Amino acid sequence: MAETSGRKLVVEVCNAKNLMPKDGQGTASAYAIVDFDGQRRRTKTKSRDLNPQWDERHEFIVHDTESMASEILEINLYNDKKTGKRSTFLGKVKITGSTFVKSGSETLVYYPLEKRSVFSQIKGELGLKVYYIDEDPPAADAAAAEQKNDAAAPAEATEEKPQENAAKDEEKKEDKVEEEKKEDEKPAPKEETKAEETSNPPQAPPPPPPEVENPPIAQTEKPKQQQQKEKQGQIQKRSDLNVNDIELRSLSSDRSRSSYDLVDPMPFLYVRVSKAKLANPGSGSSVYAKLVIGTHSIKTRSETDKDWDQVFAFDKEGLNSTSLEVSVWSEEKKEDNQITEICLGTVSFDLQEVPKRVPPDSPLAPQWYTLESENSQGNDVMLAAWIGTQADEAFQEAWQSDSGGLIPETRSKVYLSPKLWYLRLTVIQTQDLQIGSGSEAKVRNPELYVKAQLGAQVFKTGRTSIGSSSSSSANPTWNEDLIFVAAEPFEPFLVVTVEDVSHSQTVGQAKIHVSSIERRTDDRTEPKSRWFNLVGDENRPYTGRIHVRVCLEGGYHVIDEAAHVTSDVRAAAKQLVKSPIGLLEVGIRGATNLLPVKTKDGTRGTTDAYVVAKYGPKWVRTRTILDRFNPRWNEQYTWDVYDPCTVLTIGVFDNGRYKHDEAAGRPNKDVRIGKIRIRLSTLDTNRVYMNCYSLTVLLPSGAKKMGEIEIAVRFSCSSWLSLMQAYANPILPRMHYVRPFGPAQQDILRHMAMRIVTTRLARSEPHLGQEVVQFMLDTDTHVWSMRRSKANWFRVVGCLSRLATLARWLDGIRTWVHPPTTVLVHVLLLAIVLCPNLVLPTVFMYAFLILVMRFRYRPRVPQNMDLRISYVDGVSLDELDEEFDGLPTTRSPEQVRIRYDRLRSLAGRAQILLGDVAAQGERLEALFNWRDPRATGIFVVFCLMASLVFYVVPFKGFVLGAGFYYLRHPRFRDDMPSVPANFFRRLPSFSDQIM
C-alpha cells in the first residue's frame, strides 16, 4: 500500500549565503522551516550570521511514491525574533518532486531565495542536498502505529490552529506590507515551535538524533492523499526507474494521456486465441491453431499443453473476405521424421457480427467455442474476436498483418538516448617519479605528459621537462583541464597515464573509479583534489604518485546534436531541471507516393517504410508497413517541452534490417527516404497543424523527391506566462556562460557525444541503425561542402541585400530620382531637427504599424527544409559527388586534382575579400598611429578646426546643414569621389607588407 512504500525523503540543509539583514543591526539570526507532504521540520537558529552554516539532516516519509513527482518541497527562512526585533521573512525555496534524485546521486545545489510578495526585500541563496532512500516496507506493527498516528493528526491540526492564528495576528501588526500581499503564508515564530514541541511528539518512525535541538514540529496528512490511498487500495507500486525517470514517466503515460485525436482510427480485426480443450488428447502430439481470412492465413505456435494465448491483428482494409475460420490441428512426428497433421475441427465467424471495442472499455473475455468436425468430436477452442483500433492495448503484443507479423525489427519502439555528463579531469602535478636511471634522467631532461583515457576517448596534456627549472626538477606541474563525455551507465575506470616522450615509455598509470567521482552542479563548490599512486609493470609496483582533481559536471548540457537543430537544453544534473512548460503531441498519419528503393523477388520495386521522430532524449520509431507506397501508420506520441526554441526532427526510412543478407551474414542497412524539421517556436499554442511535407533526399545524382509525409502537430501550453519567461532566460544552463568551452573544444565534445549516442542506440534490440542516428543528428554538418558554402554565401548576400536596397533608396532620394519623395525627406529632416524628442516615438510607431500590417501575411504552415535555400539545384554533379566522398577520398588522383584547383580558385577570391575587409580597418587604425605623418597631421588640424566650429555652431544647425548638403540637387554635385573618400583611400594598410 501507499502508506508502506518504504521511501524516505532526506533534506540536508547545508548553508545560506548573502542573506538580507533583518534584525535592525545589519545582520540576521536565521533558521529554516522545511515542509513536505504535511510534515514539518525546523533547523537550529544561527545567531547574527548572514552566511549561516547548519549542516542538518531531516527525513520525511513519502506516503505515495507515484505522486512524489507532483509534490512540492518548501523551505522558508526566518529571522528569529528572540535575537532580533521581530520574526521576519528571509526568503523561501520551492522544489518540485520531479527533481528529487536517488541516494548516491545527491550533490550540493544552491537555490536562489524567492520573494513572498512583490514588496519583500529578499536576497541570497540556500544550499541544499535533496534525495530519497528506498527501504524495505515496515512490518505490520509499524503500519498499525502509523494508522494510530493518522487518527491523531486531526487533533494535532486542531491544536495548531489557535497558535498559528495568534502568530499571524502578531506578525500582521509588525509587518503589514508583506502580510497584505501573502495571505496563505505560514510564519513560524519560535514560540509556536516550542508550543508544538511540547504538545505534539514527532511521528516519524525513526526518532531524531539526540544532538538535534529542534525535533519535528508537526506531521499531518493531506486529505487528497487519503483519498488516493483509499482509492488505490492494494495496487502494487512500481519500482524506481533509475536515472531517466523523467523521460520514462513521460513515455509510460503516452497511452494514458493521448486520446489519439491527431490521427485517424485504423480498424483492426483482433483475434485472441487462448487455448484448446481436446476430447482425446494424444500423448506427445503438439497442437496449433490456424486462422484463415480469404487469402490471409496464419498459425499459432505449436504447443503440447494446448495453451497459446496469442493475439492476431488484421488490418481490416486489407481483408478480402467477410468470414473468419479458426481451425485446430494436431501434428505428430513419426520415427522417419515425417509429420502428420490432423484437423481437429473448425469454427467460423461472420465479420459483420464481430463486436466492436473502443478503449477504455474492458477487454473482451474469451469464450469456449465447439469445433465442428466429422472425424473428431467434442473438441473446443477458447478465443475472443473483436473490432478495435490501433489504440487497443492488445495492439503492441499482437501479430500484425501490415508489419509482417511478430518480426522484432518491424515493431514500433521507443528509445532513450543515454544520459550524458561532462567529466572534468584537472591534472595538477606528480611527485616521486621513477624514470629510468638517475644519471640518464639528469643528462637528458626527459619530457613528460599525462594521458587520460575514458572508454574510446583519449586526451593528453602539454609536455613539461624535468630539470628545466629548479621548481619543476622533482615535481612537474601541469594544471590543465581535460574534458570527457561520460554516459550512464559509466565506464568502470578513468585511466590516467604518465608518459615519457624522451624514453618512449610509460612511467606509470592510475585507475580512477568513475562511480566514485564527485558530482557538482555549479562552480561555487570546488571538488577536492586527490592523490593516486602510479603503478608500472610487474617489477615496478610503485613509480610515483599523481595529484588530480576530477568531477562530473552536472551544470552543463551535453550537446549531442547539431547546434541548429537542438531539441534539448536541460542540464545534466536532475536537480537543475525545471518543470516542463508545455506538451508536444505528434501524430504520424501516413505517407503518399513513396518511390521504390529496392526490388522484391528481383521482379518489382517495393518500399518497407517506417518513421523515426526525435525530440530531446526520446526517440520513437513507428512500425514498419511492408510493401506499400502509401503506408498509413496513424501513431501518436507525446513529449514534454522544456524550451520552446527547440526543433522536432522526423525522418522516414526504408527497413532493410528485418531481412538478413544470407550471403554476407549481416543485416542490410536502412535507406534514407527523407527528413523534415519543425521548430516549436513557429507553432501557435493549442492549435493542431495537419500538413503534408515533401520528402527529399540528396543523392550524388542530385536532389530527388521521394514522396510526401502527413504529420499532425500540437504544441499545448497551460501557462502563457511561463512560455513568455522562457524567451528571457538563457538558452543553455549557467555553466556554459560562467565557464564556457572554446569553439574548437565544444565541437570536439559534440562529436564525441554523437558517437556515444550512436553506439548506445545501436546496442538496443531491435537496433536503431547507425545510419539512422547519424542522419537524424546531422553528424556530417562539419564536413566541408561546396553546396553548403554556396548556400551560406547566398544567405549572407540575402541579408546584405536589405542594406543594399536601403542604400539604393537613399541614393535615389539624394539624386532626386523622385522629386516629391526628396521634398518630403527635407520636411522630415526639418521635423527631426526642430522636434528631436519625437524621433524615437516615431520610429517605434512606424515599426509597430509595419509589423501589424505584415501580420496578415505570416506563415500559416510550419516551415520545412527549403530546397532553394539549400542550393541543391545550383551545384554540379561533380560538386555533389565531392560532398558524398568520404575522408580520405576514394576518387582518382586526376579527379582530386581538378577539385583541388577549383577549391584554390574559390579560396583565392575569398582571400582577396578578407584582405579588403582587413585593409579598411587598418586604414582607420593608421589614422591614429602616425604611420602616414602627413595624413595624420591633416587629421589633427581637422580635429582642432572641427572642435572650434562645433563650439560656435549648434548641433541642430550642423545636422540641418549636413542633411541639406547631402540632399542637394544633382546640378550642384561633382562626378568625382568626395574629398573624405579620397583621403581615406590614400591611408596606408598592411597589404603592402604581406609577402
Residue 69 and residue 97 in contact, taking contact as beta carbons nearer than 8 Å: yes
Q: Tell me what pLDDT residue 665 has.
A: 53
- 782/780 Cα distance (integer angstroms): 5
Q: Tell me what pLDDT residue 812 has.
A: 87
Q: What is the pTM of this model?
A: 0.79
- 599/617 Cα distance (integer angstroms): 35
The list of the chain residues with pLDDT below 70 reads 1-5, 83-86, 136-259, 282-284, 335-336, 436-444, 467-474, 660-667
Pairing, β 671-679 against β 339-350: unpaired
Q: Tell me what pLDDT residue 666 has.
A: 60
Ranges of each domain in the chain: 6-135, 267-401, 419-435+446-553, 578-731+769-777, 786-993
Q: Quick one: angle between helices 786-814 and 819-834, nearest 10?
A: 80
Grid coordinates in use for 554? 552536472
Residue 790 and residue 883 in contact, taking contact as beta carbons nearer than 8 Å: no
Q: Is cis: bond before 766, omega within 30 of 0?
A: yes
- For the chain, report the end-to-end CA distance as a whole number of angstroms: 83
- 356/604 Cα distance (integer angstroms): 38
Residue 648: is it exposed, middle or buried by C-beta count within 10 angstroms (0-12/13-18/19+)?
buried
Instruction: Return the residue matching grid coordinates 547566398.
Output: 794
Q: Which CATH number fits domain 267-401: 2.60.40.150, 2.70.70.10, 3.50.50.60, 3.40.50.720?
A: 2.60.40.150
Supply the DSSP string of 108-154, one letter for each residue: -EEEEPBPSSTT-----EEEEEEEEEE-PPP-HHHHHHHHHHHHHHH
Of residues 714, 865, 860, 859, the one with CA closest to residue 263: 714
Q: Tell me what pLDDT residue 231 has.
A: 40
Supply the DSSP string of 45-68, one letter for each residue: -BTT-SS-EEEEEEEEEES-STTG
Of residues 606, 588, 589, the one with CA closest to residue 597: 606
At position 712, the amino acid (one-letter code) is A
Of residues 205, 199, 204, 236, the one with CA closest to residue 219: 204
Give CATH for domain 6-135: 2.60.40.150
Q: Tell me what pLDDT residue 154 has.
A: 39
Same fold, 267-401 and 578-731+769-777: yes
- 7/65 Cα distance (integer angstroms): 7
| 578-731+769-777 CATH fold | Immunoglobulin-like (2.60.40)
Q: Tell me what pLDDT residue 531 has.
A: 94
Q: Tell me what pLDDT residue 290 has.
A: 92
Q: Tell me what pLDDT residue 163 has.
A: 40
Q: How far is CA 653 from CA 595, 665, 677, 771, in A?
A: 12, 22, 15, 10
Residue 247 neighbours by CB distance under 10 Å: 19
For residue 172, the Cα-to-chain-centroid distance in whole angstroms is 45
Q: Quick one: angle between helices 893-926 and 877-884, nearest 10?
A: 90
Q: What is the largest CA-CA distance in the chain?
A: 124
- 261/885 Cα distance (integer angstroms): 45
Three-state secondary-structure class, residue 828:
helix
Q: Quick one: angle between helices 743-762 and 770-777, nearest 10?
A: 150
| 419-435+446-553 CATH fold | Immunoglobulin-like (2.60.40)
Instruction: Return the residue matching grid coordinates 520552446.
Output: 644
